[in-house]
A and B are shown apart, each in its own frame.
Chain A
Amino acid sequence: MTYTTQTQTRVQDAGESAGSEYLAFTLGREEYGIDILRVQEIRGYEPVTRIANAPDFIKGVVNLRGTIVPIVDMRIKFSLGTPTYDQFTVVIILNIGGRVYGMVVDSVSDVMTLKPEQIKPAPEIGTAFDTDYLIGLGTLGERMLILVDIDKLMSSDDMGLIEQMAA
């Protein structure tokens, strides 16, 4: 995991002038973007080991080269698209603060570079995500990306991936 951190720092230095890079993925008909620096890798969907009594959207855990990683299906969590699992199902492996999660989405398209002026504040309504978890809307030509604050989302109570202090 150390090498990821190093890469992150390097890219961050370079990215300050040129804007930030976002990985674009789709959920249903909406296109979302997350900070590329939080993405460790992109994989196909593998059978998971179910965790008893966990919410529906937590599919279970998989073995990622010796690490036990929980898999979250965003399509179920946000009721978008159809949760089918085949050879085209994509899992984005996120590394947030040293913790590794897998996130199932409909598809991954490309990586986009957005300058700060291309990012507009998110409107109060209109997406499946709570505005608290949004950075804003990124526009690049005809395309519009809903930029998700993935750090905040994955560590939120909603997801239940992290033991909360009070719990």
Chain B
Amino acid sequence: MTIDMSQFYQVFFDEAYELLAEKEKLLLALDVAAPDSEDLNAIFRAAHSIKGGAATFGFTDITEVTHMLESLLDRIRKGEMTLTTEHVDAFLTAKDVLTMLMEGHQHGSSVDQDAVGGVCQRLKALSDGQAAPAAAAPVAAAAPEAAAPAAADAEPVADADGNFHYRIELPVVPQKDVEALATELGLLGTISQETLADQRAVFTLVTSEGRDTIVAICSFVLDPDDLRITHAGGAASAAPAAAPVAGATPADPGYALFEQPGPETAIQPAAPAAAPVAEAAKPEPAAGEAKNWGRRATDKEGASAESSSIRVGIEKVDQLINLVGELVITQAMIEQRINALDPIVHERLLNSASQLARNTRDLQEAVMSIRMMPMDYVFSRFPRMVRDLAAKLGKKVEFVTRGAATELDKGLIERIVDPLTHLVRNSVDHGIEMPEKRRASGKNETGKLTLSAAHQGGNIVIEVHDDGGGLNREKILAKAKQQGIPVSDAMTDGDVWQLIFAPGFSTADVVTDVSGRGVGMDVVKRNITAMGGNVEIQSVPGSGTTIAISLPLTLAILDGMSVKVGDEVYILPLGYVIESLQPAAADVKEIAGQGKVVKVREEYLPLIPLYQIFAIEPRFDDPSQAIIVILESDGKKAALLVDSLVGQQQVVVKNLESNFRKVAGISGATILGDGGVSLILDVAALLRSSHQLNADTIYS
């Protein structure tokens, strides 16, 4: 049996991206003056895991970078070197380079070799420059091509052919795994196998490959922590030369002996061994002024949660949700039937039914929660962005997140990233003032940017708050006039703030490469509306701006208003509905050949008679007897003529196209409480083409 490595590539990439993200998060949370040794260890472990994986798959470039990163980190966490912001910067750059390299391997995208070389040099310089016993640290690892001969010389146990003798003790595993491992390890060199008294298998392997390679191969089958690898030759050795995983710096004795519980030995966790060392050598406060811009005052909740998760295809989850949905409908049906029974005669049946109802509800909640992801998934990418942006603009920003554990549907969470990025960027660029200006106005030099998420009813509210200068009402009004947007000085603040969502609107004096081109806020608004949410702005001059995004918890559920025309019930998404009223007969005017308009609050709105569009026999065709619902979409308003309003309810959106075809004017369907189907109106399309909609265009 041979293992086709390529099938594991995706797993490696997934894991590596996760580890990199984790590493970045930890780096940003790190207090440079007094780093937490546990955090340093975690960063080290992340780098190490990536290195191990990359070496297994033969991504030597990734291995090189991670290796240098790892050796530098190791020195820091052992207290041989003091952590400075330079280190953190270098680590972050290294993270970017690694991401680039991985994308290069995964998608074949281009790789900037200069950047790779640059970061290697930088890490090497840092590693060299402040190494305590500088002479003892030739950093064998820095350049693999150089390292190869050097390490070979320093190799006491390598036999004449440059091979090492390893003794690999396995934990108790099924026989077939042992055989598979033996075959796989056999590819590396000569292998022999024996069985210990307690049924454990022991391999003796003669190979030129490194220990990491062995661990990596074994880790497909068993937990590397259970693995015990010792040198059959008995003498100490450094990591082998042939593998690009060039191993340790000779300066580090703990590294060179596999028998010792060094940081690399998986035999026992590295953390406890290293922690006291780091504790003892409490680093001095960083040289120079500690740059505190962009440091993340993170809320610690769930930060150290162990990742014990499984990967499941999203379609499996969706299937589960659908099945549970069916169960809920069936359960509702049973409940309806049973309610007709005599409660005394059928007491036990009724009790069981109510228990079924409870269980079904719990099950539904549990299943729905699978699709939910914490907002941290989105929030975690901002500290870095804010930090870099603040540094670039010369601003000081403290970034705070709240409610990162708030959960939101996965589909929505992916779509909220871009709009939110835009808003955060805007806040840093336009919201928060320069330090001098802040000082002049009596504020703390460091601006505060808060990103928070919270549940409110059936919605999630995400707020981006800055304590900057606030929006400038006069400037916005002036700009709007200049761009020919109809405005009046009497407009309320709320209306004025909404102007910034107009396409092409920007009040920035200077167009920077960060923002100011006026593309964006309209896109933000459009994206959020498309998700069924809305955006609100609150701003107080001199003390800051809050932009609140309110979103439904899941795409599958919609707040709807049911309206009746003739005998048919349709659902209007509530987000589009402004108001509903019964117009006076005098307010309805006919325009020759163009249909009717209705006057509402001094505004003439086109009247869309739903009964005409859908060819329904209405109860009323006289608008003054029926009800009109004022709808707004993309800034266009219209009045929809219906017979009556039925009510307001949350509905589960079902796709009409999965078994049928697209129907003009209809965006989907839903199942009502009685099991019947009701169609959801596509308001945007109705408004867009209200004058063209007729039987011909709908169904040809």
**A163 close to B657 (CB less than 8 A):** yes
B322 proximal to A (CB < 8 A): yes
Stretch among A11-19, A27-35, A47-55 lining the B interface? A47-55
A51 to B656, CA, bound (A): 11
- A10: interface (CB < 8 Å): no
Say whether B585 faces chain A, with CB atoms less than 8 Å apart: no
In the complex, which residues of chain A have a beta carbon less than 8 angstroms from the beta carbon of B322? 66
Contact B660–A52 (Cβ < 8 Å): no
Q: In chain B between 368 and 408, which residues have their CB closer than 8 angstroms to a CB of chain A?
A: none
Contact A51 B330 (CB under 8 A): no
Q: Report if A101 contacts B (CB, 8 A).
A: yes
Quote the shortest CB–CB distance from A4 to chain B (angstroms). 14
**Segment touching A, from B32-40, B340-348, B496-504, B663-671:** B663-671
B661→A161 contact, CB < 8 A: yes
Tell whether A51 pairs with B663 under 8 Å between CB atoms, given A61-B669, A66-B326, A68-B654. yes
Q: Is the CB of A61 within 8 A of B677?
A: yes
Indicate which residue in B616, B659, B663 contacts A99 across the interface (CB closer than 8 Å).
B659
What 0/1 readout, one digit per residue, does chain A (33-69) give for beta carbons within 8 Å of chain B? Answer: 0000000000000011111111100001111011111
Check B329–A55 contact: CB distance below 8 A. no
B655 surroundings in chain A (CB, below 8 A) = 68
Shortest beta-carbon distance from B213 to chain A in Å:
41
- Evaluate whether A162 and B661 lie within 8 angstroms (CB atoms) in the complex, with A50-B568, A167-B700 already known: yes
Most interface-central of B322, B330, B654, B660 (chain A CB within 10 A): B660
Please pick, from A61, A69, A163, the residue contacting B662 in the complex, using a CB distance under 8 A. Answer: A163
Chain A residues with CB below 8 A from B664, complex form: 53
- B residues contacting the other copy or chain, number (CB 8 A): 34
Partner of B615, one of A52, A60, A163: A52
Residues of A within 8 A of B330 (CB): 65
Complex contact A49–B698 (CB within 8 A):
no
A50 to chain B, nearest CB (A): 7
Q: Does B675 contact A (CB under 8 A)?
A: yes
Shortest CB–CB separation between residue A164 and chain B, in angstroms? 9
Chain A: interface residue count, which band? 20 to 34
Q: Does A138 contact B (CB under 8 A)?
A: no
Counting CB contacts under 8 A, is B678 at the interface? Answer: yes
Kindly state whether residue B679 has any CB partner on chain A within 8 Å.
yes
B676 and A53 contact, CB distance less than 8 A: no
Residues from chain B with a CB closer than 8 A to the CB of A55 are 699
Of the candidates A51, A67, A101, A162, the one having the most CB atoms from chain B within 10 angstroms of its own CB is A51
Known: A54-B699, A61-B656, A63-B676. A68 touches B669 (CB 8 A): yes
Contact B661 A52 (CB under 8 A): no
- Closest-by-CB residue of A relative to B322 is A66
Contact B325 A66 (CB under 8 A): yes
In the assembled complex, the CB of B322 is this many whole angstroms from the nearest CB of chain A, namely: 6
Instruction: Enumerate chain B interface residues (CB-CB to A < 8 A).
Output: 322, 325-326, 329-330, 568, 613-616, 654-666, 669, 671, 675-679, 695, 698-700
For this complex, 30 residue pairs linking A to B, each with C-beta atoms less than 8 Å apart, are: A49-B669, A49-B678, A49-B679, A51-B663, A51-B679, A52-B666, A53-B614, A53-B664, A53-B695, A55-B699, A61-B656, A61-B677, A63-B675, A63-B676, A63-B677, A65-B329, A66-B326, A66-B329, A67-B654, A67-B658, A68-B655, A68-B656, A68-B669, A68-B671, A70-B660, A99-B659, A160-B661, A161-B660, A161-B661, A163-B657
- Chain A residues at the B interface, C-beta cutoff of 8 Å: 47-55, 60-63, 65-70, 99-101, 160-163, 167
